[in-house]
Amino acid sequence: MMRQYELVDRVRRYNPHVNEELLNKAYVYAMRAHGTQKRASGDPYFTHPLEVAAILTDLRLDDATIVAAVLHDTIEDTSATREDIERLFGSEIANLVDGLTKIAKLDLVSKRAEQAENFRKLLLAVVDDVRVLLVKLADRLHNMRTLQFVSPEKSGRIAQETLDIYAPLAGRMGMQGLREELEDLSFRTLMPEAHAMIVTRLGDLRRRSGENINRIVTELSQELSARGIDAEVTRREKAPYSIWRKMERKSIAFEQLSDIYGFRIVVKTIDECYRAIGVVHTKWPTVPGRFKDYISTPKQNDYRSIHTTVIGPGRQRVELQVRTGDMDEVADFGIAAHALYKDGKAGDLDALTRESRSYKWLRHTIELLSEGDSPEEFLEHTRLEMFHDQVFCFTPKGRLIALPRGATPIDFAYAVHTDVGNTAVGAKVNGRIAPLLSELQNGDEVEVVVAAGQVPPPAWESLVVTGKARAAIRRASRDAIRTQYAELGRQIVTRAFVRAGKTYEDDKIRAVLSRLARTSVEDVLAAVGRGEMFSGDVVKAVHPEFVPVRSAGAVAEKGEKGWFGLKKAASLVFKIPSAKEDASDAIPIRGLGSDLPVRFAPIGGAVPGDRIVGILTPGEGITIYPIQSPALMTFDDHPERWLDVRWDIDEHDTRQYPARIQVSAINEPGTLGLIATVIGESGSNIDHVEFITRSSDVRDVVLDIEVRDLKHLSSIISQLKSKSVVSKVERING
């Protein structure tokens, strides 16, 4: 177990002004607080916070963070309180320990929904002070290093969670070294055989390639030195988990990998970075398409470097990274690099908040929390954004937009602003009109074309790749559907008030919201529109003396010719007005895509000119049936679902509506073609065809077609009947 003086010495190595008294006090307090507590390994529990603190000293963090690491389990696992910590160590350290305690209380090793909710809480806990996240990641790293002492079932869950959440989060914060160790430890636990295989092959490759690797390092160093560039050239080896993931993703064998070894050139200035690239490209031929400049366009986790691949000594592909010393620190330590002690001086945490791209990403992620997504959606979205590589695109004004690889102009639009995404109708990429679903490439300039009143199609949700776009599309779709139901509910309730001899006003509904168990007028109207609340109950809530008559309505009665009669009661739920009658109290129907949630009868549909009735289906809106439809008998016992509706079609409207016909025709070559020709030449479209063979000579053809109105349908039927091969044509309503 680490001694007091050893902890102080670790901090003094990078901070000569270490507060030795504070560290000693924290050491003694935590040791006494944890007392005889033991870990699963049998070691004293106090060894764990000490090891967490040691990990953070490797990151050269400030005294407050180291002290918080030593104390991080005291409030959770001992009798110590937040007040005790604040009294003894001050509010800054107390806030850090309290934030870590909130995270420690989360059982992240749990079912997906619980895990997602806890992930939300984790990010909320760290957003105020990023040092909380740094301690938490160090805490997880030490737990992973001692995972062998935990039961196999629990260790598997912890390792999977580390691979799913903590390792990507460390990577998103730019802490690549920590990420790789977390991934390696998880990989070893979850797939021990695969891990052992990769490690063995890496060892074999290391022995075989040692001489050639040294040759590349030597030649690079000599070439740069000869050009007056003082550079440190080192090799790097791809981590086992990264190798495994690439083998799985590309379905290739270990021997087919060409990027297991790479080389890093670290220079003093940005100017020398580009000079070094010039030397390398002059010496060896480049591999096309393998040059990436992350200095001019850094990644969102603050990573900056130039990547290139050349054909080096021995005709081998050599991957190179060129960066400055400061960039190298950010690449290794990520977000923690802003807090590093350099030359005995602490890093600027205020600068971290202002300048760090990874911290801005963390803030952006928290913004998603406030926009109403479910925990599962949030976890899905953040994981999407953590795992993807990036492309860099520009607005016409030169604003840089970083997106995951595979992003589309729709993703770009939502990255600019949610309102831009919601109203997007088109895009220009590099000045040319491009599909909204085209994949963007590095350097593309994207101009989004918008239109007021546009609502994103729900299908977009499955086609975009960014979490923000998916969340916004899902939200906009929900809002649009809710608005449709609310509008339908308003019309239903308004007419219910009219039938009761009352006047509808929003204020009257607002006054009885508690009686209706809703929080807003829109909630009430949407509930009526969805069929979850009876309109008569809304009237009764406002006028208690009113008695809703649920049995009143149009009761279908089958006549001699199969048509339905209507009861001539004063409380008819629907009526079919004549041209001279005032139909203003009926709900106007304009067809699909209107501002109401409308659909047509699944069998046979309905067309303008039909006498129609609306059936309110809970959760689905209005289904429009022709009055002759036998399906209406199903709703005889639910008259409260019948709605008074009317067609409201402009004479110049070109929309078409669904209808079904059955044609009996002679079964001979060319018959189907003749039927299709008649329908097509009449300006109709065939959606579906079904054949029913009555005999070898006669075949029935059932066709779902689209027509403008009843006159158009009647004309098609008449033309079909005039053909010699057709014996019978009739319209079908189910």
pLDDT at 447: 93
pLDDT at 557: 36
What single string gives the DSSP state of each residue in 686-717?
A: EEEEEEEE-SSSEEEEEEEEEESSHHHHHHHH
Antiparallel, parallel or unpaired: β 390-394 and 400-404: antiparallel
* Domains of the chain: residue spans and CATH: 4-191 (1.10.3210.10), 194-339 (3.30.460.10), 388-465 (3.10.20.30), 476-537 (no CATH), 557-647 (no CATH), 657-731 (3.30.70.260)
Measured distance CA(253)–CA(103) in Å, rounded? 41
Question: Mean pLDDT of residues grouped by 10 in the chain (734 residues)?
Answer: 88 89 93 91 91 90 91 89 92 86 53 54 64 88 92 88 82 83 93 92 86 86 91 90 86 81 92 93 87 86 87 80 90 68 57 56 56 52 53 78 84 90 91 89 86 83 84 81 77 80 86 83 82 80 73 36 34 36 59 66 85 78 83 77 77 81 84 88 88 76 88 89 85 82
pLDDT at 248: 84
The helix or strand, by DSSP H or E, that contains position 167, with its residue range, turns out to be helix 167-172
Measured distance CA(194)–CA(188) in Å, rounded? 8
Taking each helix axis from N to C end, the angle separating 130-145 and 152-161, rounded to the nearest 10 degrees, works out to 140
Residue type at 693 in one-letter notation: T
pLDDT at 68: 92
The pair of structure tokens assigned to 675 is 């039927």
pLDDT at 363: 61
pLDDT at 276: 94
Longest dimension (CA), the chain: 107
The pair of structure tokens assigned to 335 is 């977000």
pLDDT at 553: 37
pLDDT at 161: 80
pLDDT at 554: 36
List residues with catalytic annotation.
76-77
pLDDT at 393: 81
Measured distance CA(66)–CA(86) in Å, rounded? 16
